[in-house]
Amino acid sequence: MNSSTLNFSSWLSETVSSVEQHLQHYMPAVDVLPEVLHEAMRYAVLGPGKRIRAALVYASGLACMNSAMLEEQQKQNLSFAAAAVELIHAYSLVHDDLPCMDDDDMRRGRPTTHIQYGEAMALLAADALQPLAFDQLAQMHIDPLSIVQAIRVLSEAAGSRGMVGGQVIDVANVGNLLELSQLQKMHQMKTGAMIEASVRLGAIAAGANNDLTAQLNRYAVAIGLAFQVVDDILDATADTQSLGKTAGKDAQNNKPTYVSLMGLEASKAFAHQLYNEALVAIDSLGYQAQRLRELADFIIRRNY
CB of 46 to a second copy, least distance (A): 15
> 106 pairs with which residues across the strands?
111
Q: Using CB under 8 A as the criterion, what x/- string covers residues 174-213 for binding a second copy?
A: -----------x----------------------------
DSSP code per residue over 235-270: HHHS-HHHHTS-TTHHHHTT---HHHHH-HHHHHHH
Of 49-57, 58-66, 67-75, 149-157, the segment contacting a second copy by CB under 8 A is 149-157
Q: Which of 125, 295, 160, 131 lies closest to 222, judged by CA? A: 295
DSSP 106: E
Among 159, 276, 280, 302, binds a second copy (CB under 8 A): 159
CB atoms within 10 A of CB 146: 17
Of 10, 13, 73, 148, the one binding a second copy by CB under 8 A: 148
| Beta strand ranges found along the chain (DSSP E) | 106-107, 110-111
When binding is defined by CB under 8 A, the residue of 2, 5, 31, 33 that contacts a second copy is 33
Total Cβ atoms within 10 A of residue 124: 16
Contact 1, 75 (CB under 8 A): yes
Map residues 79-98 to x or -, x wherever contact with a second copy holds by CB under 8 A. ------------xx--x--x
Q: Which is nearer to a second copy, 155 or 237 (by Cβ)?
A: 155
* Contacting residues toward a second copy, per CB under 8 A: 28, 32-34, 36-38, 41, 91-92, 95, 98-101, 119-121, 123-125, 127-128, 130-132, 134-135, 137-139, 143-145, 147-148, 151-152, 154-156, 158-161, 164-165, 167-169, 171-172, 185
